[in-house]
Structure 1
Amino acid sequence: MSRDTEDGATSGATAQGFDPKLIEPYIVKDPEALALNVARALENLGKAASTWLAPRERGEIVDPVSQPLTELVKTMSKVAEYWMSDPKRTLEAQSHLLAGMFGAWTRTAQRLAGGEGAEPAPQFPNDKRFSDEDWQRNPFFDFLRQVYFIGSDWAERMVRDAEGLDEHTRHKAAFYVRQITAALSPANFVVTNPQVYRETVASHGDNLVRGMKMLAEDFAAGGGDLRLRHTDYSKFAVGENMAVTPGKVIAQNDICEILQYEAATGTVLKRPLLIVPPWINKFYILDLNPQKSFIKWCVDQGHTVFVISWVNPDERHATKDWEAYIREGVDFALETVEKATGETKVNAIGYCVGGTLLSAALALHAKERNKRIASATLFTTQVDFTHAGDLKVFVDEEQLDAMEERMRASGYLEGSKMASAFNMLRASELIWPYFVNNYLKGEEPMPFDLLFWNSDSTRMAAANHSFYLRNCYLDNALSKGRMKIAGKTLSLKDVKIPIYNLATREDHIAPAKSVFVGSSLFGGPVTFVLSGSGHIAGVVNPPGKQKYQYWTGGAPTGAFEDWLTKAEETPGSWWPHWQTWVESLDGKRVPARKVGGGALNAIADAPGTYVRERA
């Protein structure tokens, strides 16, 4: 049996036989000290449990546990039904698993007996969770590793080979299996993780004392929900060492602030640049620090940059839907740009769902003969959701009904819920390694600006979020020409302006294939570019870093795989390529502009006030 992987493979046992000295680091030297620290750790665990329980006893938090569990059980029961409905299939499934497990046991027994004639282990993936050398050097941990991969592979095979499942059910089942196997990894437990086991013995359990203390603190920070810390939050502050590009807030309404950044060049491009960020997370992903800031880089290239900073909504914004976000967001920003610069034509950028909103706005503008946006750039933006990835797991009629019921009570979706969903897409990278590092090893995470931003979650206005999920993920209405806004049925074919459509190759939120397919829906010329890395790093990739690469090619038609085969790869950042594209549309320059242009007064310094509101 073997398990395929894109990352290459490593063999199982790297050394024959068993060295008794390997046991030495796992022998408890001071049982009394260990027992004392275990008691202290349990005391801290009790505090964590109390912090979790208290708001639930007071009725402040009501966990809708039954609905997710019902979805999981219902989905997995359909897979089990296929394998158990026929005794022959049941036997086949059992035999496949038992053969793998028996093989792992036989190899381990042979190693313990001296290794003579031990059959080679199957190839398993290179996995960071199993990087400690004792996962292969020590027969006990090697056995656990083999059993884990064999069991995970078997579970995935059961979903993959089950017949009669509709596409959505199979997708959900595969997702749930990955979540379960990620949670049950032996790397997530003290006595089955060699590194944690050794550290527990060496420190007499002090790591567990620190870890359970952190667990209690993180429950307290989340108000009863676990706010898993990914970085040292004390090292970052918005407006102090993040989002520091000089600028002003020059306009404000109920759902957004409009920022204009100060010019850094003597002349600037005549067309101003308006950035429409997603309202899921905050705009300063494009202005993390001066070295990574796309906003600062654009200013340095001679753009007059305006950015929409969305409000972090609460119950007052419950009825704000996509029409409101277009009228009071995009259109309000366009009016502000015209007042500040006198220009009626702008280049616009939309990032992720901000790009989807911008695309809908462009289609609406086409119906209304509004020609203010002369070109649009879309970062990791989906307008067709056929291949929308694992987020589709959370979207079907039953789950949406349950979510909308929760949102009706508060007027919004809690930021923690969306953050958890995104983290679950990469649980083996964004959940369990931090669980092990923080709570089992008792180590504080390292400072990392990107993870600080990622944890700075935002709430979702109920009407806005419901419209997005139903019209995009559930009905795919924008791509089908069925989305209705302001009484008009929108068609992307009406959008004739030039589009620069950027996808990222390892994107788990807006898969590259999904972005590519959406390119064909616009009615004008589309330049499709594929960047290396993922949803964030593929976009926030300044030229000075000389990281990753990007691919360019012909028109985005046909199959994505065929386009990629013929595309030309260029090392480094795509930013200069985009700048050349923008200037090819209109490279005329004018003297640098003052913030507000004399018509608008500054309300606050950038990054403004809305971005500082934490969910």
Structure 2
Amino acid sequence: MTHTSFTELKNSVDRVIHALEGRLTQGISPASLTLAYLDWLIHLAHSPGKMSELAENMLRKHQAYQVWSARAAVDPQTAPLIEPRAQDRRFNDPAWAKFPFNAIAQGFLLHEQWWHYATTGIPGVSKHHENVVHFAARQWLDMLSPTNFMSTNPKVINRALETGGNSLYQGMQNLLEDLQAYTLGAPPDCSEYCVGRNLAATEGQVVYKNNLIELIQYSPKTQDVYADPILIVPAWIMKYYILDLSEHNSMVRYLVEQGHTVFMISWHNPDAEDRDLAIKDYINRGVRDALKAITAIVPNRKVHAAGYCLGGTLLATTAAAMARDEDDRLGSMSLFTAQTDFTEAGELMLFIDESQLSYMEDMMWDRGYLDTSQMAGAFTLLRSYDLLWSRIVSEYLLGECPAMSDLMAWNSDSTRMPYKMHTQYLRKMFLNNDLASGRFIVDDRPISLRDIRVPIFCVATETDHVAPWRSVYKLHSLVLTDLTFVLTSGGHNAGIVSEPGHPRRSYRMALNRAEDKYIAPDEWLNRFNKQDGSWWEPWSNWLSERSGPRVEPPAMGNPEAGYAPICPAPGQYVFEK
């Protein structure tokens, strides 16, 4: 055996071990967590001043808590000692205001505050490790919250008394059904929602197909249409039809009804054979091939491209390469919750460092792709209260049966990401920030977002955990063109699926011209007021102003140019499991 082959064998052994570990840890690197913990612990041990402050803080808070508890036991009107954070909904129920449950809640909030102080502000600890330790402490506290236990949650106790224990019985039934489904590997029951029937049901035709995409052209719903077509580039991390959900909240249907000709990319769900698909393939066989088909079907017109999440990042990358090469087929670019600068990419950065990426690469090497189940651990931890603990309380302790929705059905329709592409994306985009820094290579040459000259419509959402709005806002510093920025209510998905008529929706919107001075994000937030309603309406108007005159709808496909209709929408790739 040669030295090279022996080295490859040893590397393969390491990768297999890491891949097996990753299945147990949900893709989280034990080494990364250990390094963060040791960094915090060693610097804390060498900070006697900080430790004395922590001891004094604990003593003072406990003394105040004991006095408050004694007063609260005899006076129900006693004001809380500690107010929960604005986004903390765990103790909103009025039952938590009564003794002894108010004392239980206040005691927990006291310890939560103390641990925040203990895990932050330690001199010498790297910011990344501090964030990891603080995040890990928060996960333990979320798990130990009194809301999660029957004996300390007054809402659970009251419900059990009101139902004669039936809520607990129903909760046990829910738990057993979930355990059975998990053991058998059964997907959630989404029979109420069916792709092609009441999901992804907007009429259209697949007019182009390769080994990575199907391109859907949607049928017109108006007698005349705007001359310029729209191309939507969705993220490949999930199925495209989040933008074509039910009839009432389908973005595609809304645009078609406004008179736009809409094309949509539907991505192939990669498997082990696609392990070597790279970002360049998603650019060339994805966006570029789609643009080539559209310009053959609707010739001599500009294309207004819109990208969602990873699809937006890919679109911005492609648009920069097109601008560099003086390719002027784009008329505008719209980006939805899409990051282009990853220096402040939110809590996802907790899982992005050299140790974590090496670990994840070994997990993907094992199968040739990253499965959604391997990403589930990180995303669940980011929103542990919403995605885990609140569900445990409502379904297993309160006995509530969750109602399925179209968005939940879509969310359970998982996809995979190929080894090479995802490795490049995490290293070049997230870890090295090559796109924002002008180092990202397309066709053997670097690209710069500053070359983009088409107008941009950029949407961010207020409570986004995946693409925080201040991170999305950084696009202002990267481009030299007119940029309309919208900040809408909601999160990463629900904020985008925000159809007109949706209750309690609002947004802020402002235009920053190429010659205008930069406005910091917090100043922008204070300067522009909220408007009630859906951002879809101003976006549709923005597109209409740039989409040319109304003309007869184009034919479905162009057989003479090699783009004959292949099959009805939603195509075949959307059904791949």
Length-normalised TM-score, structure 1: 0.83
Q: Quick one: structure 1 residues 594 and 216, their matched pair in 2 at CA, closer, same or farther if it must change by over 3 Å?
A: same
User: Is residue 203 of structure 1 aligned with residue 160 of structure 2?
Assistant: no
Where structure 2 has 5 or more consecutive residues not aligned to the other structure, the ranges are 1-16
Q: Read off the aligned partner of 2:135 and give its amino acid letter.
A: F
Aligned-partner SS, 1:478: helix
Deviates more, 1:164-173 or 1:406-415: 164-173
**Aligned partners of 2:26 and 2:376 also within 8 Å:** no
Once the two structures are superposed, the pairs formed by residues 354-373 of structure 1 within 5 Å of their partners are 354-373=311-330
Q: Read off the aligned partner of 1:160 and give its amino acid letter.
A: T
How many Å apart are 1:83 and its aligned residue? 3.2
Identify which of 67, 78, 85 aligns with 2:39: 78
Aligned-partner SS, 2:484: strand
Identify which of 483, 499, 505 aligns with 1:526: 483
For 2:296 and 2:524, locate their aligned partners in 1 and report how far apart those are by CA, in whole Å. Answer: 42
Give the structure 2 partner of residue 191 of structure 1.
151
For 2:63 and 2:30, locate their aligned partners in 1 and report how far apart those are by CA, in whole Å. Answer: 32
Once the two structures are superposed, the pairs formed by residues 323-402 of structure 1 within 5 Å of their partners are 323-343=280-300, 345-402=302-359
Once the two structures are superposed, the pairs formed by residues 39-58 of structure 1 within 5 Å of their partners are none
Identify which of 130, 134, 138 aligns with 2:95: 134
**Aligned partners of 1:211 and 1:442 also within 8 Å:** yes
Once the two structures are superposed, the pairs formed by residues 137-148 of structure 1 within 5 Å of their partners are 137-139=98-100, 141-148=101-108
Deviates more, 1:242-251 or 1:188-197: 188-197
User: Is residue 254 of structure 1 aligned with residue 216 of structure 2?
Assistant: no
User: Is residue 214 of structure 1 aligned with residue 189 of structure 2?
Assistant: no
For 2:248 and 2:41, locate their aligned partners in 1 and report how far apart those are by CA, in whole Å. Answer: 52
Once the two structures are superposed, the pairs formed by residues 446-525 of structure 1 within 5 Å of their partners are 446-525=403-482
**Aligned partners of 2:171 and 2:395 also within 8 Å:** no
**Aligned partners of 2:455 and 2:482 also within 8 Å:** yes
Q: Read off the aligned partner of 2:276 and give its amino acid letter.
A: T
Q: Quick one: structure 1 residues 60 and 519, their matched pair in 2 at CA, closer, same or farther if it must change by over 3 Å?
A: closer
Give the structure 2 partner of residue 437 of structure 1.
394
Aligned-partner SS, 1:544: coil
Deviates more, 1:163-172 or 1:302-311: 163-172
User: Is residue 602 of structure 1 aligned with residue 565 of structure 2?
Assistant: yes
* Paired residues, number: 549
Where structure 1 has 5 or more consecutive residues not aligned to the other structure, the ranges are 1-55
Aligned-partner SS, 2:270: coil
Give the structure 2 partner of residue 161 of structure 1.
121
Q: Quick one: structure 1 residues 266 and 116, their matched pair in 2 at CA, closer, same or farther if it must change by over 3 Å?
A: closer
For 1:196 and 1:120, locate their aligned partners in 2 and report how far apart those are by CA, in whole Å. Answer: 22
The percent of aligned pairs where both chains have the same amino acid is 36
User: Is residue 93 of structure 1 aligned with residue 93 of structure 2?
Assistant: no
Q: Quick one: structure 1 residues 157 and 276, their matched pair in 2 at CA, closer, same or farther if it must change by over 3 Å?
A: same
Bigger RCO of structures 1 and 2 (CA < 8 A, at least 6 apart)? 2
How many Å apart are 1:299 and its aligned residue? 0.3
For each residue in 1:24-76, what CA deviation from the matched residue of structure 2 results, as whole angstroms up to 9, or x when unmatched? xxxxxxxxxxxxxxxxxxxxxxxxxxxxxxxx9xx899425796344334323
Deviates more, 1:316-325 or 1:531-540: 531-540
How many Å apart are 1:249 and its aligned residue? 1.5
**Aligned partners of 2:23 and 2:374 also within 8 Å:** no
Q: Read off the aligned partner of 1:367 and give its amino acid letter.
A: R
Q: Read off the aligned partner of 1:307 and give its amino acid letter.
A: M
Aligned-partner SS, 1:543: coil
Q: Quick one: structure 1 residues 528 and 123, their matched pair in 2 at CA, closer, same or farther if it must change by over 3 Å?
A: closer
Q: Quick one: structure 1 residues 450 and 67, their matched pair in 2 at CA, closer, same or farther if it must change by over 3 Å?
A: closer
Q: Quick one: structure 1 residues 292 and 159, their matched pair in 2 at CA, closer, same or farther if it must change by over 3 Å?
A: same
How many Å apart are 1:182 and its aligned residue? 1.6
Stretches (4+) displaced over 6 A: 116-119
Q: Quick one: structure 1 residues 494 and 136, their matched pair in 2 at CA, closer, same or farther if it must change by over 3 Å?
A: same
For 1:443 and 1:403, locate their aligned partners in 2 and report how far apart those are by CA, in whole Å. Answer: 36
Q: Quick one: structure 1 residues 66 and 453, their matched pair in 2 at CA, closer, same or farther if it must change by over 3 Å?
A: closer
**Aligned partners of 1:264 and 1:299 also within 8 Å:** yes
For 1:473 and 1:92, locate their aligned partners in 2 and report how far apart those are by CA, in whole Å. Answer: 37
For 2:78 and 2:459, locate their aligned partners in 1 and report how far apart those are by CA, in whole Å. Answer: 51
Deviates more, 1:462-471 or 1:341-350: 341-350
Q: Read off the aligned partner of 1:610 and give its amino acid letter.
A: Y
Aligned-partner SS, 2:481: coil
**Aligned partners of 1:200 and 1:206 also within 8 Å:** no
Give the structure 1 partner of residue 244 of structure 2.
287
**Aligned partners of 1:263 and 1:594 also within 8 Å:** no
Deviates more, 1:428-437 or 1:322-331: 428-437
For each residue in 1:201-223, what CA deviation from the matched residue of structure 2 results, as whole angstroms up to 9, or x when unmatched? 63275245313313312422547
How many Å apart are 1:310 and its aligned residue? 0.8
**Aligned partners of 1:200 and 1:207 also within 8 Å:** no
**Aligned partners of 2:371 and 2:415 also within 8 Å:** yes
**Aligned partners of 2:372 and 2:416 also within 8 Å:** yes
Length-normalised TM-score, structure 2: 0.88
For 2:26 and 2:77, locate their aligned partners in 1 and report how far apart those are by CA, in whole Å. Answer: 51
Give the structure 2 partner of residue 35 of structure 1.
none
Give the structure 1 partner of residue 8 of structure 2.
none
